[in-house]
């Protein structure tokens, strides 16, 4: 995955033919998510089938998702191999979301590429979106939020409840609101040392 464009934003007016097409795609994505959310833990094959239809690209047998799952659109989500998405995750992908190999996403995580202008006069007139890139071997712990324009570097960990507004360097553990670096990680060491969602208060 390329990161050169990871901060490039787009602005779309909430009226006109382009928005009409976008709104149709959002409705399509939400309908497919609703169908996916009627499935259970034993319906892994059908979950993969619907998720593949949602994104427009077939996921392989290593992809795992536990419903419910929420999205707006879905066509701009890209996932690698051995990706795991836990329950109650939300991905709003208008700006594009790339998820690398062996990424683990905990429950109640929000990956949100789009937002509104700060200026009150423009807030309802435009949607502003920036892409999110999550590199290989990242763990995003429960309740974390990743905002548009962010790249999360490989082997990194985003702590429980963190709000990530800036890029995360490779091999780092970030936590807090807004997220900050807690410590550097050893990518090839410390296997099995922790089992719970990382909490900066324990360090």
pLDDT tens by residue, 111-156: 999 988 888 888 888 889 999 999 999 999 999 999 999 999 999 9
pLDDT at 197: 55
| Third-level CATH fold of 10-187 | UDP N-Acetylglucosamine Acyltransferase; domain 1 (2.160.10)
How many CB atoms are closer than 10 A to CB 84? 15
Residue spans of the chain under pLDDT 70:
1-8, 187-203
How many CB atoms are closer than 10 A to CB 34? 12
pLDDT at 54: 97
pLDDT at 203: 46
| DSSP codes of every residue in 30-64 | HHHHHHHTT--TT-HHHHHHHHHHHHTS---TT-E
pLDDT at 8: 66
Report CA torsion sign: 166, 151, 71, 13: positive
How many CB atoms are closer than 10 A to CB 48? 19
Catalytic residues: 116
């Amino acid at each position: 995955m390329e990161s050169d464009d990871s901060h490039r934003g787009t602005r779309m007016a909430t009226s006109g033919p382009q928005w009409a097409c976008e709104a149709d795609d959002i409705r399509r994505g939400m309908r497919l998510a609703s169908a996916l959310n009627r499935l259970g833990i034993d319906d892994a094959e059908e979950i993969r089938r619907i998720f593949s239809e949602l994104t427009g690209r077939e996921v392989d047998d290593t992809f795992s998702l536990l419903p419910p799952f929420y999205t707006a659109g879905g066509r701009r989500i890209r996932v690698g191999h051995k990706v795991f998405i836990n329950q109650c995750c939300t991905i709003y992908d208008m700006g594009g979301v790339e998820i690398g190999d062996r990424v683990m996403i905990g429950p109640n995580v929000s990956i949100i590429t789009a937002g509104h202008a700060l200026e009150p006069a423009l807030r309802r007139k435009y949607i502003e979106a920036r892409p999110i890139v999550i590199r290989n071997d990242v763990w995003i712990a429960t309740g974390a939020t990743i905002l548009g324009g962010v790249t999360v570097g490989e082997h990194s960990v985003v702590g429980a409840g963190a709000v990530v507004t800036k890029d995360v360097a490779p091999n780092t553990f970030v936590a807090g609101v807004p997220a900050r670096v807690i410590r550097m990680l050893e990518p090839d060491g410390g296997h099995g040392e922790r089992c719970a969602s990382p909490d900066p208060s324990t360090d």
